[in-house]
A and B are shown apart, each in its own frame.
Chain A
C-alpha cells in the first residue's frame, strides 16, 4: 500500500460536486452573521451607534459586553480579544467590534454599514522599522511579541581573523494563502438539561484549537463543546489559527439568538482580515576563510507579527532555526524577533517562517559566491552539513547526508552548467530577452519545533465497524493535501489489508481523539506513525481475544472484525506519540534536536526576463527532494507542484498592497497568484531514504516545496541580468525595473 498512488478517498465526491463544504450545509432557520470592524489602525473605542433605516429589533447584536466567558482567543499566548469593548484599545483596521445576525443576509450586509464606531484615534505603527524604532509602544515595553537567541561558538571572535566578511540585507513580503473556499462557520448553541452545548461546523485545520477557544470563550467544560471539520477547499495554514476567531464569533451569535448561525466571509473580507505570511527582514553577516569555508554566521531576523502574538512566537522559532540553512559553521549567532505593528495579525502559512529566513540565506550564499569569485555550486559544496556535523542548535546530523549529490542531481536535470555557458553567450545579443539559471538548497524540519510534539502527546486510533471494515480516528483534517488517502494507506499497510477496507471517520471532536493540529508537515510522519502503532495494536488485540488467527486473508480479517464488533459492541485501539529517546530539546536555551528529522531539497529554476516589460517567465523548474519513503507518489508530486506554484507566486507576483496596514488589493483580480499559463513544467524527483521515525520510513513534505522557489528564482535572475540589488520578494516587474535603473543610473 505504501508507495502506491491510491485514489483520493474523497476525490469522487469532489469531482462529482457532492462533497459538502461548510456553506453547502443545509441549516433550516439559520441566521446570517456579519462582522462590524474597526476602520482605524489604532484608537480607543468610545461608543457604538446604530444608524437609521435598519429594523434593529429584528437583529441579534453581540458586543464584547455579552461574552459569557473570557474575551480572549486561546492561542500560543492569550492576548487577542474576540471583540473590542467600549473603553478598550483598537489595534488594527480590521478588528472585530460588533457581530450582527439576521435571517436576510442582504439586510445583514446593509446593517453592517449602518453601525458607526466612535473612536478616539491614536498614532499607529505600521511596519517593522517603525516598531523597532519604538515610534509608538503598542505591545509590552519594546513592541516585542517574542525574541529568540540561538548561539553556537562565538562569531565575534572570528570577524577580525577571517579572509572575507560579507554582509547583506533581505526582505520578504506578506503572502495570502488564497484557499479557494473562504473562511466559513456554522454554529448551533443549545440549552438543555440546564446546560449550554456549543457545536461548530467549519472550514478549519485544527478542530481541537477551535474546541479549546470555544471552551474558554464560553467558560464550558470539555464535553459541552463539539467541533466538526467539514470538507475543506484549501487552507495552507490560513485555517490554522483564524477559525478560533470566526468560530467563536459564529457561536456567540448562535448563543445570543438561540438559532443556528452561518458566518461565511466573502473574498474581500477574507483577504482583508484573515492571516497572511509574516513579512520579514533579515540582516546576515558571514565570515569565510580564503578557500571559501564558512567560519561564522550572524543573522538578525525580524518578522512583522501584527497587532497580537497569535502564532508569531512559533513562526519565529521555525524561522530562527532554519536561518543558518544547511551549512556546517562553527560559530553561529541567531537573533530573532517578532515585532508588533498595528496591522491585522499574520499567522500560519505553509513554511511557517522558514521560507523567509531561508530566502535570505540562499540569496546570501549566491552573493557571497560572487564576491568570493567562486561558483555558487562549489561554495555550497564546500560547506554542506554532513554526518556528525552539528547545526546551530547543536543538533547532530545522524543521517548519512549527501547534499552534494542531491544538488548535482538537480543541476543535471535542469542542465545547469550547459545552460549557464549558453546564456552567457546568448545574453550578449541585442534582443530584450535575457535568460538565467539559479538554484537553492534547503531543508524543512518535520513536525512541531522543539518539544512541541511532546507537549501535544497526540493520540490517534483505529476502530472496527460492524461491516468488518476499519475506520481511522484522528483529528487531522483533509484540506486537499491527501490525509484521508495517506492515513488509509498507512493503516492498510500495517494491517496488510486492501486500501478499500480502510477509511477515515468524520473529524468530529465527539468521536475522534486529539491527534494534534493539521500543520507543520506532521500528519503523515507523526500521526501516521501513531496510526501504524494503533493498527498493529488493533490487530494484536483481535488475535489475543481470539477473533483472528494469523496468518489471515482480508476476508477472514473482515469476518473477525465484524464478529468482534457484534460481540463487544465497539472495538477500538489508540496509539500515542512517544518521544524517541535520542531526541532532546531545551526550550530555554534553544539547544538540542529542534526536529526529529529534516527533509532536504535542491530546487533549480530557469528564467527568461523581457527587458521591454520586465516580466519574468519561469521556463523550467526542477525539484529534487529527499523526504524519506514516499507514501503516495501522485499526491506527493501534487504537493510539490502546488508548493512550487505558491513559491513562484511569492517570489515574483504576490504582493499584499496596504493602506494604513489594511490590504487594499483584496480581490483575486488584483492580488496576483499565478495561473497555469504563468507556470512552467515542474519536474519532481524523489530520492527515497527511509527514516525510522515515520510510518514506513516517511518524512514530512507539505511545507518543504514552499521554501526553495523564491531564492532559486532570484538567483536565476542574477544569472540573467548580472549583479542587481535582488534582495526582496516579490520581485515584481515594477521592482525589477527599479533595480535595473539603479544600475544604469549608477
Chain B
C-alpha cells in the first residue's frame, strides 16, 4: 500500500443534507467516496492526490432503482449488481445490464456504483456508452437545490464535467424506449473478463416503418470522455433498414473519435476496430 493512511480523513455524513452542507461549506475539499473501487486502487498505488473523503455509502436517499413515469430512475448509489439483477432494467435496458456485467469482477460489481462510474469520468468506463445510447438525464443536487442536465452534455473534456464543487449526482433518469427497438452493446476489452475497454460501442435505435426514426450511439475509450457518435448518427438517421449507408456511417464515425495510443491499445487499433464494430452493429440491425 503506497498511500499514506495517516494523511487521510474520511467523514461519514448521517444524511444527504449533512453531506451537501459539508460540500458547500468547504467546496472542492471533500472527495465523494461511494463504492471506492477506483479511489482505493489509485490510493494503493500511491497516486491519489485527494486526502479528505466523504463516505456516501450509507445514504439511503441515493440508493434504489424505481419506475418514475416514463423513466426508470437509478439512485446514484445503485451498484452494478443492483442493475444486473433488476427486472425492469432487463426489460427496458439490456445494454445497461450488459455494461454492468462487463464492469470489473463480481466483487467490483457489488461495490461499484453507477453514479461513481459517471463522476469518475474514465473514458473507458463501461456504463456511460449505454447511458448515452438511452438518452439518460442526470439529476444533480446541492444545498442550493436540484437541477437536471442531459447526460450527453455532462462530460466536457478529460475528467471535466458540468458538476459544481458543491454538487452530487443524485439520480440517473433513463427514458423507457417505446415501440420497436434495437439495442446493441459491444465492449472490446483486453480480455474476455475483468478487462478495461479498448473500444466500447452502445446503440439504441427506434424503428418505425422499417426506418431508423431515432438513433443514439455512445462510444467509450476513443475520446477524452464518453461521447456520442453524432456524425455517424446523422449519416444513419431516417435511413431504411434495407439500405443502410454503412460506408458513409463508418467514414462519419472518424469525426466522432479522437483516440490515443496508450498502455492498452494504439489509436490506430481503436479507430479501425470502432468502425468495424459499427459495421457489425449495422449488419445486426439490417437483420432485425
Interface residues of A (CB under 8 A from B): 105-107, 109-110, 113, 266, 268, 432, 611-615, 653, 657, 664-665, 667, 669-670, 672, 674-678, 733-734, 737
Contact = CB atoms under 8 A, between A and B. Distances in A.
Given A268-B2, A432-B280, A653-B190, 9 more contacts: A106-B4, A109-B2, A113-B46, A266-B1, A612-B279, A613-B273, A667-B45, A677-B193, A678-B191
Given A106-B6, A110-B4, A670-B264, A677 B277 contact: no
Interface of B: 1-6, 41, 44-46, 188, 190-196, 198-199, 263-266, 268-269, 272-273, 276-277, 279-280
Nearest to A676: B193
A333 B262 CA distance: 42
B280 A612 contact: yes
B280 A109 contact: no
Contacts of B190: 653, 670, 672
B269 A109 contact: no
A268 B1 CA distance: 10
Nearest to A672: B190
A557 B198 CA distance: 64
Nearest to A737: B269
A575 to B, nearest CB: 46
24 contacts: A105-B1, A106-B6, A109-B2, A109-B4, A611-B276, A612-B273, A612-B277, A613-B188, A614-B269, A614-B273, A653-B190, A653-B191, A664-B263, A669-B41, A670-B190, A670-B263, A672-B190, A675-B193, A677-B191, A678-B191, A733-B198, A733-B273, A734-B265, A734-B269
Contacts of B198: 733
Contacts, number: 72
Nearest 9 CB-CB pairings of A with B: A612-B276, A677-B192, A677-B193, A675-B193, A734-B269, A672-B190, A678-B192, A613-B188, A665-B263
B287 to A, nearest CB: 12
Nearest to B194: A675
B2 A266 contact: yes
Contacts of A670: 190, 196, 263-264
A672 to B, nearest CB: 5
A613 B192 contact: no
Nearest to A669: B196
A734 B196 CA distance: 15
Contacts of A612: 273, 276-277, 279-280
A665 B262 CA distance: 10
B280 A675 contact: no
A106 B277 contact: no
Given A106-B6, A612-B276, A675 B191 contact: yes
A182 to B, nearest CB: 13
A678 B190 CA distance: 10
B2 A734 contact: no
A611 B195 CA distance: 20
Nearest to A430: B283
Contacts of B279: 612
A672 B263 contact: no
A109 B196 contact: no
Nearest to B265: A734
Contacts of A733: 198, 265, 269, 273
Contacts of B280: 432, 612
Contact of B192 (A432, A669, A675, A737): A675
A363 B269 CA distance: 26
Nearest to B199: A613
B131 to A, nearest CB: 23
A280 to B, nearest CB: 23
Contacts of A109: 1-2, 4, 46
A614 B268 CA distance: 13
Residue of A105, A107, A113, A615 with highest tally of chain B CB at under 10 A: A615
B188 A615 contact: yes
B188 A268 contact: no
Interface centre among B1, B199, B268, B269 (most CB of A within 10 A): B269
A677 B272 CA distance: 25
A676 B198 CA distance: 20
Contacts of A268: 2, 45
Contacts of A657: 263
Contacts of A113: 46
A320 to B, nearest CB: 34
Nearest to A113: B46
A664 B262 CA distance: 11
A106 B264 contact: no
Contacts of B193: 675-678
B266 A734 contact: yes
B276 to A, nearest CB: 4
A670 B265 CA distance: 10
A381 B211 CA distance: 59
B10 to A, nearest CB: 15
A675 B188 CA distance: 15
A113 B7 CA distance: 15
B277 A613 contact: yes
Contacts of B266: 734
A676 B2 CA distance: 30
Contacts of B196: 669-670
A674 B191 CA distance: 7
Nearest to B196: A669
Contacts of A667: 45
